[in-house]
Structure 1
């Protein structure tokens, strides 16, 4: 379903760096294996657990008649509480199983955006899902207070039925839910927000929308098993290449050749940036800067910088096998003065985009810029599960080489403290 191709050795200078020794591969693998064994992060176990599936199914069965009337789902959360879900739905919303339910995200304290998002939203056909590990994130708690007050969601048991909370076990938000008798689903405390999409944070809303959530977990489990069986060594090689060349190539670009991946790029940027921008065990600042681009749009805004700007970037391409997409086609029309564009006539837009991606990748490679390519054979729940766990494992591997904790975010906490002081 997914193929991974690396071209780090296109540049003769990098050839020796793109083939790490077995000792180096074993060392990184041992770091990640120990992390998993010691449960440093709970995301390693999510693909193999059924808690999220069972909790979600239990809620759906107990509220079957109520859910028949739901036309709007509003997700109130920020960062890891919303980006993964938004990414998956953006990519897979074309699937026939996707229910005709509007999905809205309240994740911004911009007053204009708040009013725009809630326009025409009525309590009677809406479900508000509050997602926060603690409930004390200012953006989420403020937005939660606003919708509770606006729609009187705590006034009666019937109104409360339009609320569902997803949070850590025994968190302040969990305690609030139990006291108010509001439906609540919990996740393990050692699962960070940006690694939580395969928990109830993502699985519950995806099931409500009609997706086959078990396939997400199955895909992730298959890839993770192969990784720990040493059958996906390309991931270790890439992690070593990026980490060891961090001073030379400190910007990592994800160039996704489908507009459906716009939100996936945002998810990747948070995962990569917040996990790897840290102080290492020696107090040195380390990190890699993520950038998300969409092809072919960003060929006209960023490609110039990549090819002739500073040689400080690596590029990962994501593309879809477009053999199935033969329509629509470019009409076989020729206009006076515009004859230079006729060479693409009678070509499918799918083929055009595919060739644009290949041309861009070869142009970048010819400049000696390190690239790799992930091709997805079919956009479905299983392939997305594999893609998600691939990037999570890659992040952990690079963090392990950096000697950092990939799962905290002290720099973000400093900002929260400063905000409280300002108030």
Structure 2
């Protein structure tokens, strides 16, 4: 992974080289803290040990019964689905991947009606085994299988913690089960069983994913000038402190669109605390140059734009044309055009003093995805350390979970009472 931060300097909000050098001294202390956390397997920091701790043989053994699957359906939500979806949606496979990560009844019905459940592997993912949305969807999937005469116990693999409802279910029905790593919040678990089981069923090289992550881990150092992940985290933090409250994350590859969704959860849930944080705005190049760039370039000076691209990709030629006004396109290629769009967007933002950063990988393949996933996790932790945040907690999310559970009759919670007592100002 490579980071070009030149266009983050001198814009508005302003960050100059002197401030960056001062920040570099803080990064040295941050690196020491992160290293200590990794060495002691401290909660959260343990995520950065996954490139060497994740047992790929264990994953392959658990999913071996599903090698004949035409489809893999992952049932999870948030961090229990987005990492797996990032890899699945970025890479081609003959085994199609779908995700039930919401409880929209119409979408769930449409999806299940479209699948041959007898040739579908179901991967249910919940660390606690109590996540309401995940378990509700799994119960619906199980019923659909039974209705079609499919033995759900032969088509299901569970990824969960050492105890809880899903662990009990796996033991009762002798289901293949994978452990969720201890000390790793869900949004940081993409490089574990949580993110890699689906990839393994699809036949992807999960060892290469971890190799890419390990390569990025080995580049962590006490200077942001030597560590791309820290450079991104530190610059994002410094610009946020100066008023860049929004981070528009814009990959120039449709295969990385879900990666932007994964990034949004990582950034929002980890850093949105104590009145701090940076709001992630998902965009897609070149599509959103025509829908959002106007705001980034000419709107409020409160944004950092992150441009992400692979430098190598399969290409497709643009045919010659008899239309004189389009002759410049003929003989070129779609990839060349997309690269030109990125270069033009980058220059346009810089000319308007809008800070932007370029993130590059060689290719969208298993190794490149490993680099990106690990790099952004380390960047997020670096940002959190610089800001003095509790990066690995999510109290606002837990509040909502309790409120919903109480409303459904799953216990008595003060949060659900506040929902019942909400004020209304209804306009009809």
Q: After the TM superposition, which of the residue ranges 342-351 and 215-224 deviates more from structure 2?
A: 342-351
Local SS of the residue matching 2:182: coil
Q: Which residue of 2 aligns with 1:91?
A: 90
1:334 aligns with 2:322: yes
Q: How many residues align?
A: 401
**Which runs of 5 or more residues in structure 2 are unaligned?**
409-428
Runs of 4+ in 1 over 6 A off after TM superposition: none
Q: Pick from 230, 247, 250: which aligns with 2:245? A: 250
Q: Which residue of 2 aligns with 1:80?
A: 79
Encode CA deviations 1:158-210: one digit per residue, 9 max, x unaligned. Answer: 54111111011223321232123222111223111111111111222211111
- In the alignment, the residues of structure 2 paired with residue 242 and residue 141 of structure 1 have an alpha-carbon distance, to the nearest angstrom, of 37
Contact 1:83-1:267 within 8 A present in 2 as well: yes
Q: Pick from 29, 32, 37: which aligns with 2:31? A: 29
Contact 2:315-2:335 within 8 A present in 1 as well: yes
Alignment of 1:315-354 (within 5 A): 315-322=305-312, 325-329=314-318, 331-335=319-323, 339-354=324-339
Q: After the TM superposition, which of the residue ranges 398-407 and 289-298 deviates more from structure 2?
A: 398-407
When normalised by structure 1's length, the TM-score is 0.89
Q: After the TM superposition, which of the residue ranges 175-184 and 378-387 deviates more from structure 2?
A: 175-184
Q: Which residue of 1 aligns with 2:97?
A: 103
CA RMSD of aligned residues (A): 2.2
Alignment of 1:5-404 (within 5 A): 5-7=4-6, 8-11=8-11, 13-15=14-16, 16-20=18-22, 22-38=24-40, 39-41=42-44, 42-51=46-55, 53-61=56-64, 63=65, 67-93=66-92, 98=93, 100-152=94-146, 158-228=151-221, 232-247=226-241, 248-279=243-274, 285-322=275-312, 325-329=314-318, 331-335=319-323, 339-404=324-389
- In the alignment, the residues of structure 1 paired with residue 32 and residue 332 of structure 2 have an alpha-carbon distance, to the nearest angstrom, of 49
Q: Which residue of 1 aligns with 2:425?
A: none
- In the alignment, the residues of structure 2 paired with residue 240 and residue 69 of structure 1 have an alpha-carbon distance, to the nearest angstrom, of 46
- In the alignment, the residues of structure 2 paired with residue 345 and residue 123 of structure 1 have an alpha-carbon distance, to the nearest angstrom, of 46
Contact 2:27-2:222 within 8 A present in 1 as well: no
Encode CA deviations 1:205-262: one digit per residue, 9 max, x unaligned. Answer: 2111111111111111111022147683343343233223324111111111111111
Measured at CA, do residues 369 and 348 of structure 1 come closer, stay the same or move farther in structure 2, by a change above 3 Å? same
Measured at CA, do residues 143 and 159 of structure 1 come closer, stay the same or move farther in structure 2, by a change above 3 Å? closer
Encode CA deviations 1:246-292: one digit per residue, 9 max, x unaligned. Answer: 2411111111111111111101101110111113xxxxx21110112
Measured at CA, do residues 235 and 121 of structure 1 come closer, stay the same or move farther in structure 2, by a change above 3 Å? closer
- In the alignment, the residues of structure 1 paired with residue 359 and residue 406 of structure 2 have an alpha-carbon distance, to the nearest angstrom, of 45
